[in-house]
Homo-oligomer: A and B are copies of this chain.
Amino acid sequence: MPSTLDHVFAALADPTRRAILARLAEGEASVTELAEPFEMSLPAVSKHIKVLERAGLISRGRDAQFRPCRLEPEALKEAAGWLAFYRRFWGGSLDRLAAYLEDEEEAGP
Contacts and interface: CB of A to CB of B under 8 A. Distances in A.
A76 B80 contact: no
Contact of A9 (B9, B22, B73, B80): B9
A21 B5 CA distance: 15
A10 interface: yes
A108 interface: no
A93 B26 CA distance: 10
Contact of A97 (B12, B18, B26, B97): B26
Interface of A: 2-3, 5-7, 9-10, 12-15, 18, 21-22, 25-27, 71, 73, 76-77, 79-80, 82-84, 86-87, 89-91, 94, 97-98, 101
